[in-house]
Amino acid sequence: MLHDFPPRLMPAPLAARYIGVSESTLRKLDLPRKELGGKRVYDKADLDAYADSLPYEGSDTSKGTDECDDIFRVVR
């Protein structure tokens, strides 16, 4: 039986898709990577932690918002 959920460890293309960014943007985020069989992979827990740390729209945060906007190319 095949399940439809993301694997725990993901190569860059899948990790980028998982958090909704391009591979080049993923690399700019400087997220931690692990090594598995000589390949660099991203841990789903780290990707989830990064996503959880992003501010909610309209939240009053003075730090991090500009960086997030730059990454996702938000124009105000």
Q: pLDDT tens digits for 24-39?
A: 999 999 999 999 999 9
* Cα–Cα distance, 4 to 1 (Å, whole number): 10
Q: Helix, strand, or coil here: 40?
A: strand
pTM for this entry = 0.71
- Which range marks the domain in which residue 26 is found? 9-53+62-71
Does pLDDT of 64 surpass 80?
Answer: no
Question: What's residue 61's pLDDT?
Answer: 59
Q: Residue 49 carries which DSSP code?
A: H
What is the pLDDT confidence band of residue 63, given thresholds at 50, 70 and 90? low
CATH of residue 28's domain is 1.10.1660
Residue 13 lies in a domain: yes
Residue type, position 41, single letter: V
Residue 46 lies in a domain: yes
Question: What's residue 48's pLDDT?
Answer: 97
Q: Residue 36 carries which DSSP code?
A: E
